[in-house]
Amino acid sequence: MRKIIECLALSALLSSSAQAQIDSNAVCENASCCSKEVGLPAGLMLGHIHPKGEWMISYRYMNMSMEGIQQGVSALSSDALFKSYVMAPEEMQMNMHMLMAMYGVNKRLTLMGMINYNTNLMHMQMFGEGENHVHDGSTQSADEHHMHSMGFGDIKLYGIYALINKQKHKLMLNAGLSIPTGTTTIVGDVNGIPAYINKRLPYMMQLGSGTFDVLPGISYLYHKKTSTIGIQSNANIRLGYNKIGYSLGNEISTSTWYAYRWLTFLSSSLRAEFSVSEQIYGADASLYAYNEPAANSKNYGGQRGVIYLGSVWQPFSGTCKRWQLAAEFGIPVYQNVNGIQSPSKYFINTNLNVVF
């Protein structure tokens, strides 16, 4: 699977490079030409460039909620899970607050950098005394526990280059690097789950990958007066193993969307996203893999399809003409997880942009 994802990402870049020979006349060179395009869905960050000398500052909030237990494509009960694991996940909330800056170097090249602050909270069930769950023929109860983590994640730097930058057609390549500034050594506190007190938390509770990661991608957009059709693919290729002894799996995702402007300042979008990610390679030797599914490196990755409905508020005149507010809500329509995991329940993406 790792080889497949690497080849897909490389193929996308090579095929798009061939498009560089296409005629690129009628280039969009100034803000007045580009500013009236229908805004991107809130969950997309790499689908536009800026005129020379223009800045954009963006605050973004992203939330992913997970609930229940799933094995492959099928739901799994906590009773069945307790035959192999000590604890069972009930629900998890992952929140990301991101600050992003973009700068137009020239009419084709835009640079971007982002830093994020993450908070993660997971509620668990653990066997105790009582009469609620059956485990290996005995009747037991499940006590609720939780674990949480928070802090800054990995810094990401990008360059976005427009091979075609016409008013109607845009073809862009992006290349990025993820710098491992997020920690991979967060430990549990005394108020959390006893098994993790002063011990490292599972992989998904950590704040970074611990590795330098390469972030290639490609985007194509077709703009009309009141609508936009687009497709975008991005990959995350991990470079080696971190100091703990594992490597997060490679990832690739593709989104396609249609956005329509209902009013001069308001548009709506419908977006479909399909993503594939691998399981973790290696393992954190300090984790007991059968404490709960998140402690087992085999229980990561899989395939997921999500449908998003969004809206963008973007006035083109008045005191707020340089501001943009976007929001998007997504529901998974297909999930096939590796091993046993908590499936995603919903996604929320919001952002507030200002251009100057």
Which residue in 103, 136, 69, 44 sits closest to 335, CA to CA? 69
Element containing residue 260 per DSSP (H, E):
strand 251-263
Alpha-carbon separation of residue 347 from 65, 112, 132, 257, 307 (angstroms)? 7, 24, 32, 16, 10
Alpha-carbon separation of residue 238 from 40, 108, 235, 253, 280 (angstroms)? 27, 28, 10, 15, 11
Q: Residue ranges per domain, the chain?
A: 2-355
pTM of the model: 0.85
Instruction: Name the amino acid, one letter, at 107.
Output: K
Looking at domain 2-355, what is its CATH homologous superfamily?
A: monomeric porin ompg (2.40.160.40)
Q: What pLDDT shows up at residue 25?
A: 41
Give pLDDT tens digits along the chain (356 positions). 554 444 444 434 433 443 333 333 444 444 434 446 788 999 998 989 999 999 999 999 999 999 999 999 999 998 899 989 999 999 999 999 999 999 999 999 999 999 999 999 999 888 653 344 444 444 444 456 889 999 999 999 999 999 999 989 999 999 999 999 999 999 998 777 888 989 999 999 999 999 999 999 999 999 998 999 999 999 999 999 999 999 999 999 999 999 999 998 999 999 999 999 999 999 999 999 999 999 999 999 999 999 999 999 988 777 888 999 999 999 999 999 999 999 999 999 999 999 99
Q: What pLDDT shows up at residue 33?
A: 41
What phi and psi, each to the nearest 5 degrees, are found at residue 301? 85, 180
Alpha-carbon separation of residue 282 from 7, 66, 94, 294 (angstroms)? 22, 25, 24, 14
Q: What pLDDT shows up at residue 2?
A: 54
- Identify the residue whose tokens are 């976005």: 160
The answer to whether 178 and 209 have CB atoms below 8 angstroms apart is yes
**Exposure of 8 by Cβ count < 10 A (0-12 exposed, 13-18 middle, 19+ buried)?**
middle
Q: What pLDDT shows up at residue 94?
A: 97
* CA quadruple 116, 117, 123, 126: dihedral, nearest 10: 100
The answer to whether 284 and 244 have CB atoms below 8 angstroms apart is yes
Say how far apart CA 224 and CA 230 lie, in whole Å. 11
Q: Which alpha helices (H) appear in the chain, and where do they start and end?
A: 2-17, 31-34, 78-81
